[in-house]
């Protein structure tokens, strides 16, 4: 009995010693790795490669969180499918915004948008008024050019005397003034007038942007783009559904085989 008790005590001490000297596993388990991947998706780590610098990462992350909440992905393949679904939907939103880009970047469209006038009558009045205002601006520039040329003639024909100190001072001032007026006329000819004329030409082209928004060819292009995106989304949804169905069937078959095992 004494020998048996001694052996039992020795075995117990060895087990305790082994448990206390065992080093903790420094590598994370597969469960913790999976949890880390899910957290990465939840916090939008992958959005850095998808969201453009001027887009909202928070909106992308909210969209991704909504799809994850709806589909409840389980495993890397389903996580990737949900991410692809979010990416395709995001591209669809981006394509829809492209339809408004021309309107927002056009100065006349932006002015109409800021005014808050968006009825058909307001748009028609806007289209009719913009060319008239542009031609008026060109007319004003012609008047300004004529006035500057007249001023230059007056400055150039101003009498002065070089035999007195006052005459020499007037000569210097008139010469400086003539130089400044000439520079201003040249700047107007080379920069301001061409810019206004280019703006007038652009106005003629862009005056039909409201018509283009409802043009059948433009709409057809937009529909083709959206159809391609929808087809991609359908493909991703099919993949996600197939993954879940495959896992469900595989799990049911595994459970059935366990039930058929002999004792």
Task: State the average pLDDT for the chain.
Answer: 75
What pLDDT is stored for residue 243 in this prediction?
93
What pLDDT is stored for residue 189 in this prediction?
82
What pLDDT is stored for residue 93 in this prediction?
92
Tokens of 11: 């075995």
Tokens of 241: 């559904």
Query: Residue ranges of the alpha helices (H) in 162-215?
Result: 165-187, 193-206, 209-212
Categorize the per-residue pLDDT at 18 as very low, low, confident or very high, splitting at 50, 70 and 90.
very low
Report the distance separating Cα 63 and Cα 83, nearest Å: 10
Find the distance separating the first CA and the last CA of the chain, reported in whole Å. 39
Task: Give pTM, 2 decimals.
Answer: 0.54
Is a pLDDT exceeding 90 seen at residue 241? yes
Is a pLDDT exceeding 70 seen at residue 154? yes
Report the distance separating Cα 78 and Cα 148, nearest Å: 73
Cβ count within 10 A of residue 17: 10
More confident residue, 72 or 5: 72
What pLDDT is stored for residue 203 in this prediction?
66
User: In this predicted model, what pLDDT tens digit does every residue of 84-137 receive, in sequence order?
Assistant: 999 999 999 998 888 777 666 666 666 666 777 667 677 767 666 667 777 787
């Amino acid at each position: 009995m004494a020998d048996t008790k001694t052996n039992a005590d020795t075995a117990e001490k060895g087990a305790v010693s082994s448990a206390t000297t065992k080093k903790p596993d420094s590598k994370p388990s597969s469960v913790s790795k999976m949890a880390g991947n899910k957290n990465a998706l939840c916090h939008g780590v992958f959005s850095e490669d998808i969201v453009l610098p001027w887009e909202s990462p928070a909106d992308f992350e909210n969209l991704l969180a909504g799809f994850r909440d709806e589909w409840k992905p389980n495993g890397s393949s389903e996580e990737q499918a949900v991410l692809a679904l979010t990416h395709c939907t995001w591209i669809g939103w981006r394509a829809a915004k492209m339809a408004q880009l021309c309107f927002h970047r056009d100065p006349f469209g932006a002015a109409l948008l800021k005014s808050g006038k968006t009825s058909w009558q307001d748009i028609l009045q806007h289209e009719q008024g913009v060319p008239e205002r542009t031609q008026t601006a060109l007319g004003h520039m012609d008047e300004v050019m004529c006035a500057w040329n007249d001023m230059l003639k007056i400055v150039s024909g101003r009498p002065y005397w070089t035999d007195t100190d006052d005459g020499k001072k007037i000569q210097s001032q008139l010469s400086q003034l003539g130089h400044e007026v000439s520079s201003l006329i040249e700047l107007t000819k080379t920069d301001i007038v061409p810019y206004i004329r280019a703006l007038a030409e652009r106005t003629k082209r862009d005056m039909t942007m409201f018509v283009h928004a409802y043009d059948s060819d433009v709409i057809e292009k937009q529909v083709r783009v959206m159809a391609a995106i929808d087809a991609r989304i359908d493909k991703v949804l099919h993949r996600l559904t197939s993954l879940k169905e495959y896992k469900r069937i595989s799990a049911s078959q595994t459970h059935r085989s366990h039930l058929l095992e002999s004792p």
